[in-house]
Amino acid sequence: MTTKQRQSTNQPLLAAAGGRERTMRAAYELFSRGGTRTVGVDAVVARAAVAKMTLYRHFPSKEDLVLAFLERREQLWTREWLAAEVVRRESVPTARLLAIFDVFSDWFQTPEFEGCTFIQVLLEYTDVTNPVRVATVANLENIRGFLRELAEDAGIADTDSFARQWHILMKGSIISALEGDSQAAMRAKEMGTLVLRHRGIKLDTAVS
């Protein structure tokens, strides 16, 4: 299930949702596709079918809305989709690391593939002190936290260094997929296999 599909669950209930939830859902869809800088509050208000006063009652500024969007993105994309799907697909720790690219491969083939929101926001907010950029850096670090957990379970030494290497492969595959490389995830998986072997990790039960 994609994050868009997950957010669209229980449509009858969501149709009756309050102004905050309608605003949040509209912002999620628009920001995920169009970026947070180019999409204005007027577009969010129109998509949510709420008054601008309603938006500002729940989100005093656009920055507050973007921060709420990032929080939801982490919940839906990082936790409920990526981490949950990897754990669901595989039980062996090393296999779970490689399964990330299987999950990505499926994602890259869907019409809902919109790239990495966190990378996009980093490009949009260059001031390292900006709260939105700070939150985005934290979101990316939380992904590496998940990778460190998998690495520790797999018996990999220096889990922080490994997580950074693996994250580079993940982010690189997303960018390549946006360029049009439909096999980007599988290429990253091949490189990941080399990284694991270089670290002396046995792959007998991890590579299909």
Number of domains in the chain: 1
Q: Supply the DSSP symbol for 157.
A: S
54 domain-assigned = yes
Say which range, 16-30, 56-70, 79-93, 134-148, has the weakest mean pLDDT.
16-30
How far apart are alpha carbons 85 and 89 in whole angstroms?
Answer: 6
Q: What is the pLDDT of residues 18-56, one digit of tens each?
A: 899 999 999 999 999 999 999 999 999 999 999 999 999
Q: What is the pLDDT of residues 177-204, one digit of tens each?
A: 999 999 999 999 999 999 999 998 887 6
52 domain-assigned = yes
How far apart are alpha carbons 67 and 30 in whole angstroms?
Answer: 14
- Torsion sign (Cα): 18, 80, 66, 101: negative
Average pLDDT, the chain: 91
Of the pLDDT bands very low, low, confident and very high (cuts 50, 70, 90), residue 9 is very low
Which has more pLDDT, 203 or 205?
203
Q: What is the pLDDT of residues 124-147, one digit of tens each?
A: 999 999 999 999 999 999 999 999
206 domain-assigned = no
167: domain range? Answer: 3-198
Which tokens sit at 174? 């997303």
At residue 13, the pLDDT reads 43
How far apart are alpha carbons 55 and 42 in whole angstroms?
Answer: 10
Section 74-103 average pLDDT? 96
Q: Supply the DSSP symbol for 199.
A: T
Of the pLDDT bands very low, low, confident and very high (cuts 50, 70, 90), residue 206 is very low
44 domain-assigned = yes
CATH number at residue 164: 1.10.357.10
203 domain-assigned = no
* Among the listed residues 157, 126, 117, 132, the one whose alpha carbon sits nearest the alpha carbon of residue 62: 132
204 domain-assigned = no
* Among the listed residues 126, 32, 10, 30, the one whose alpha carbon sits nearest the alpha carbon of residue 76: 32
154 domain-assigned = yes
Which tokens sit at 203? 């792959």
Cβ–Cβ < 8 Å for 88, 95: no
At residue 200, the pLDDT reads 87
Which has more pLDDT, 206 or 185?
185
At residue 202, the pLDDT reads 81
At residue 175, the pLDDT reads 97
